[in-house]
C-alpha cells in the first residue's frame, strides 16, 4: 500500500489499537466511555471522543473491506433465500424504519433507513440489495403490502414467499442492533443511523461464528480465523 492510500497515515496511534477500538465499540454493546475505561485497563489512555472519531473514520473502511470479500465470494451463488423485514427506530422522537435483508445463513446483506414504509421505500431498498448482491432464488417477506407492490415493478413477485414463521430469521437479526441502540441511547440523526447500521452489520457478520450450532473446537478455529482476517483489514 502506498503512503497516499494508507488510511492511518495522519494518526500517531498504531493500526492495532485503532482496529481494537473500532471492534470493541461496534461489535459489543458498549458506550464510548465504556470503551475508554476498558482500554485504560490495558494501558491505552485515550479520550472517549477519540473512540467516536475512530469508529466514524475507520468503521466504514473496515466494513467495506469485509463486504467486498463477502460479495465476491457469494455473488455467483444462486441458491440464496433472502428474508426481508423492517423495524421502527426513533430519531429525536420521530419514527423511522430500518429495512434489513438477511440470507438463509443469517448474515445481514443490506441495511437501509427510510422515513416511510411505503412502496417507494421498499423499492429503493430492494434495488439497492439486488444491485449489490445479485438475484435470490426466493424472497421471504411479511404481510406488508409494500413488498409485493415493489416486487411487481422489479418483475420478481413470483419469487416471494410469505408465512407465519418463515421470517423468524429476519426478526432475530434485529436483536443485536437493538442491544447496541440501547447502549447508544438511540440516535439523533438519520445519516448517523444509516452509517452505523451498515458498519455494524458487516462487523457482526464477520464475527458471527454460529457458536450455538458448532462444537467448541470448530468455534475456536472460526474465531481465530475471524480475528486474523480482522488484523489484515486496511493493512
Instruction: Please give the share of the chain, as a percent, with pLDDT higher than 70.
Output: 95
pLDDT band of residue 4 (cuts 50, 70, 90) is low
Report, as an integer, the average pLDDT of 7-18.
87
pLDDT band of residue 186 (cuts 50, 70, 90) is confident
- Rg of the chain taking only CA atoms, in angstroms: 19
Instruction: Say what the pLDDT of residue 19 is.
Output: 93
What is the assigned CATH class of domain 81-188?
Answer: alpha beta
Which one, of 101, 98, 139, lies nearest residue 121 by Cα? 98
In this predicted model, what pLDDT tens digit does every residue of 113-141 receive, in sequence order? 999 999 999 999 999 999 888 888 899 99
Whether the per-residue pLDDT at 1 is higher than 60: the answer is: no
Asked if 157 and 151 count as a contact pair (C-beta separation under 8 A), the reply is: yes
Instruction: Say what the pLDDT of residue 136 is.
Output: 84
Coil, helix or strand at residue 159? helix
Asked if 188 and 92 count as a contact pair (C-beta separation under 8 A), the reply is: yes
In this predicted model, what pLDDT tens digit does every residue of 189-221 receive, in sequence order? 999 999 999 999 999 999 988 787 889 999 999
Whether the per-residue pLDDT at 37 is higher than 90: the answer is: yes
pLDDT band of residue 76 (cuts 50, 70, 90) is low
pLDDT band of residue 74 (cuts 50, 70, 90) is low
pLDDT band of residue 173 (cuts 50, 70, 90) is confident
Instruction: Say what the pLDDT of residue 232 is.
Output: 86
- Within 69-181, strands assigned E span 81-91, 94-102, 108-114, 138-140, 160-161
pLDDT band of residue 75 (cuts 50, 70, 90) is low
Whether the per-residue pLDDT at 77 is higher than 70: the answer is: no
Report, as an integer, the average pLDDT of 59-75.
83
Question: Which grid cell is 156?
Answer: 420478481
Chain region(s) in the chain for CATH 3.30.420.10: 81-188
Instruction: Say what the pLDDT of residue 180 is.
Output: 87
Instruction: Say what the pLDDT of residue 106 is.
Output: 83
- Dist CA 100 CA 137 (whole Å): 17
pLDDT band of residue 101 (cuts 50, 70, 90) is very high
DSSP bridge pairs for 91? 94, 187
Coil, helix or strand at residue 89? strand
- Dist CA 27 CA 19 (whole Å): 11
Mean pLDDT of the chain: 88
Question: Which grid cell is 84?
Answer: 426481508
Asked if 140 and 81 count as a contact pair (C-beta separation under 8 A), the reply is: yes
Amino acid at each position: 500500500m502506498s503512503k497516499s492510500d494508507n488510511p492511518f497515515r495522519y494518526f500517531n496511534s498504531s493500526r492495532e489499537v485503532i482496529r481494537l477500538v473500532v471492534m470493541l465499540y461496534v461489535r459489543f454493546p458498549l458506550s464510548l466511555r465504556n470503551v475508554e475505561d476498558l482500554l485504560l485497563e490495558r494501558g491505552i489512555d485515550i479520550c472517549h471522543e477519540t473512540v467516536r472519531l475512530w469508529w466514524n473514520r475507520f468503521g466504514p473502511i473496515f466494513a467495506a473491506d469485509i463486504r467486498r470479500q463477502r460479495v465476491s465470494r457469494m455473488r455467483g451463488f444462486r441458491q440464496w433465500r433472502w428474508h426481508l423485514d423492517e423495524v421502527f427506530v426513533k430519531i429525536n422522537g420521530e419514527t423511522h424504519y430500518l429495512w434489513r435483508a438477511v440470507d438463509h445463513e443469517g448474515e445481514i446483506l443490506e441495511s437501509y433507513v427510510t422515513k416511510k414504509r411505503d412502496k417507494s421505500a421498499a423499492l429503493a431498498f430492494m434495488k439497492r440489495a439486488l444491485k449489490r448482491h445479485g438475484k435470490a432464488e426466493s424472497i421471504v417477506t411479511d404481510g406488508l403490502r409494500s413488498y409485493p407492490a415493489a416486487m411487481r415493478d422489479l418483475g420478481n413477485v413470483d419469487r416471494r414467499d410469505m408465512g407465519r414463521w418463515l421470517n423468524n430469521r429476519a426478526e432475530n437479526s434485529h436483536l443485536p442492533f437493538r442491544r447496541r441502540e440501547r447502549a447508544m441511547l438511540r440516535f439523533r440523526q438519520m445519516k448517523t443511523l444509516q452509517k452505523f447500521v451498515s458498519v455494524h452489520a458487516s462487523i457482526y457478520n464477520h464475527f458471527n461464528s454460529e457458536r450455538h450450532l458448532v462444537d467448541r473446537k470448530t468455534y475456536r478455529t472460526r474465531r481465530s480465523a475471524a480475528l486474523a482476517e480482522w488484523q489484515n483489514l486496511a493493512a
